[in-house]
Structure 1
Amino acid sequence: MRLAETVTFGGSGLDRAAHLRADADAIARLAADPAAGVLLLWKGKPLFRGAGLAWLPADNPVAQRGTPSVFLGFDDGAPRFAADLSAWEPSERPDTLGAFHDPSEQTHPGLPDDHAFAELRNRMTDLTPREAELAATARGILTWHHTHGYCARCGAPSRPIQAGWQRECPSCTRRHFPRTDPVVIMLITRGNSVLLGRSPHWPERMYSLLAGFVEPGETVEAAVRREVFEETGVRVGEVEYLASQPWPFPASLMLGCRGTAVSTDIEVDPVEIESARWVTREELMDVFAGRRDDIAAAREGAIAQFLLSNWLADRLD
């Protein structure tokens, strides 16, 4: 697909400098570089300044409270790090924290008033491609540290190594690596129509492409056919890969595929989704234009919206 890497969180050419991760002295020198910046996250929410990310000097007192420090790479030569400040408790804890849509923002008393922690899903389309990749990387790796603090082999507490890109168990010496879960998301078409579905926890009227996790021992193509049939009873024939998107909510890699349906009857599995429907190109154009009362488009910035908009524009080759 010609436009594959223009999807949100797509490739911005970030230099991750993985060869430096094992060199603790080099990482320390980079952290002391006046050009270095630290991105703080609180409960998975990056720190923003205006429409962009807020980078703090490594010696900032608030930044130094974040743990662990992860080396993200170089942004046009400037070293970039990320750290988790989730141990901090704001004066008010919002009820929407962790919800599908969390509009709340939190300000830290030790930071300027124009700095605020905000949900990445709400702000991702405001970011430059480089900022988006850095934010997605920071959120994904710090979430992994938060949920994988103990050795999966012996249960002992593990510790970050390799500039935050691995964890090691001091007890049994087992090393652990960041987790990424492959997920297929499918543009299933039949003639002039596309198959859309909705989950019950989504915003009212929102429909999107079907998606599901790839199982062990399964190919991407097989996962597409299985998930579509399980959720809707629709059989899929030919499958082709289109584009991918890192989706750090919490740790998915969305594998965008196109599939051709060989049946049209829908029988929804209510355990999997709430409803599904065939939508014509003309109807989808009205959805994107906001002219439908019964269906709303997928979230802007998500690969579903990216694939659907390019299908409408006939740019999937």
Structure 2
Amino acid sequence: MSLYCGTACRRKFFWCYRLLSTYVTKTRYLFELKEDDDACKKAQQTGAFYLFHNLAPLLQKSEHQYLAPQYSLLELERLLGKFGQDSQILEDSVLIGCSEQQEAWFALDLGLNSSSSVNASLQKAEMETALQGSFIKLTKALFELNVKDASLLSTAQALLRWHDTHQFCSRSGQPTKKNVSGSKRVCPSNNIIYYPQVAPVVITLVSDGTRCLLVRQSSFPKGMYSALAGFCDIGESLEETVRREIAEEVGLEVDRLHYSASQHWPFPNSTLMIACHATVKPGQTELQVNLRELEAAAWFSRDEVATVLRRNNPSNQQQSGAVPFWLPPKLAIAHQLIKEWVEKPTCSPLPA
């Protein structure tokens, strides 16, 4: 009897947890909004909107970081009237998430369909004055945003860009139609459905046991070094991509590797960064840098990397000569990968 009661209580607790799970409730709600146009339109009535202009988010400066303001549908309709824009532009908004209280969040770009660059510039300046903020390129602002806003705005920019560049069917050449949430586009002539896509990229921190390999490309900010990264080729597994990229770029052969974590990254378009650790074969650490891919590559000791990680603002100190190099900011998965190597030198790798 007592065993039965104990089992029944555990089952009751399990189902109560399932019913009250915020994550499950929110996930199911977002799924409904993506699949049901009427439900999504209803959610817009009580939702919040983030604004963009030519893929640059509207931001307001607050002390040492940027904040992304939200606008209700009513506020947005008033603003559109003030800017002389048709409220039909609201149909171009995309769903980017929701709060735990099921307030839906949307993103809308006010500048992608401007008729001329002159008009767009005048319109942008007028909007910034009225909104008491600035439309700032995400590449410039990303690392001065809080984690929540950085994630939402990265998702928003990726979705807005995808819809802007995928307005025609690749089979029929006819215009495609976006659903209300922006989770897909459909070609009315043949019912082909197009979904937003991301490109898989592996980013790998290579180690020889006591040192890690850091590299820089010419496109990097001055003095910044990071982990090796490269796009997956068609037909490759992640493991094969890691081995190929390391061989191509620095002429080393991987001995072991293991997965660490992943991150959506909005640049240059929309990628899924898949972070790994790799070790190279003992005694085979001489670098043969592919200068078509990299500007420089070098081995760094754990102490050297730990010193740079401790700097509050390594980029400024590097430019003043206080440190020899600096690392990607904390929000980037490359930073987390390097920090993980410094703090956990005895990870258990798997054979490549």
Identify whether the pair has TM-score above 0.5, normalized to the shorter chain.
yes
Alpha-carbon distance change, 67 to 269 in structure 1, aligned in 2, over 3 angstroms: farther
Label 1:189 to 1:167 Cα distance change in 2 as closer, same or farther (>3 A). Answer: same
Residue 54 of structure 1 aligns with an amino acid whose one-letter code is: P
In the alignment, which residue of structure 2 is the partner of 1:83? 108
| Kept after mapping to 2: 8 A contact 1:107/1:113 | no
Whichever residue aligns with residue 302 of structure 1, its letter is A
Asked which structure has the greater RCO (Cα within 8 Å, sep 6+), the reply is 1
In the alignment, the residues of structure 1 paired with residue 228 and residue 182 of structure 2 have an alpha-carbon distance, to the nearest angstrom, of: 34
Q: CA deviation at 1:67?
A: 5.5
- Report the CA distance between 1:155 and its aligned residue: 2.0
Q: Find the aligned partners of 2:219 and 2:31 in 1 and give their Cα distance.
A: 38
How far apart, CA to CA, are the structure 2 residues paired with 1:110 and 1:199? 35
Q: Which has the larger radius of gyration?
A: 2
C-alpha displacement of 1:23: 1.7
CA contact (8 A) 2:40 2:180 kept: no
Aligned residue pairs total 292
The letter of the residue matching 2:299 is W
Structure 2: 5+ residue stretches without partners:
1-21, 81-86, 348-352
Counterparts of 1:111 and 1:19 in 2: how far apart (Å)?
A: 37
> What does the per-residue CA deviation read over 1:190-235, in whole Å, with 9 as the maximum and x for residues that have no partner?
1211111111121112111110011122111111111011011011
Residue matched to 1:229? 247
Q: 1:180 corresponds to which letter in structure 2?
A: V
1:243 Cα offset (Å): 0.6
Question: Which is richer in helix?
Answer: 2
- 2:331 maps to what in 1? 301
CA distance in structure 1 between the partners assigned to 2:274 and 2:126 by the alignment? 37
Three-state SS of the structure 2 residue aligned to 1:271 is: coil
Greater Cα shift, 153-162 or 261-270: 153-162
Counterpart position of 1:97: none
Matches within 5 A, 1:190-269: 190-249=208-267, 250-262=269-281, 263-269=284-290
**Bigger Cα displacement from structure 2, 170-179 vs 227-236:** 170-179
Structure 1 residue runs without a partner (length 5+): 1-11, 94-105
Q: Does 1:139 align with 2:157?
A: yes
TM-score (norm 1): 0.83
The structure-2 alpha-carbon separation of the partners of 1:66 and 1:24, relative to structure 1 and needing over 3 Å to count, comes to closer
- Supply the distance in 2 between the matched residues of 1:207 and 1:91 (Cα, whole angstroms): 40
The structure 2 residue matched to 1:19, chosen from 27, 32, 40, is: 32
Q: Contact conserved, 1:247 with 1:253, CA < 8 A, in 2? A: yes
**CA RMSD of superposed structures (Å):** 2.6
SS in 1 for 2:134: strand
Residue matched to 1:9: none
Q: Distance in 2 between matches of 1:140 and 1:46?
A: 12
Q: CA deviation at 1:314?
A: 2.4
The one of 58, 70, 83 aligned to 1:55: 70
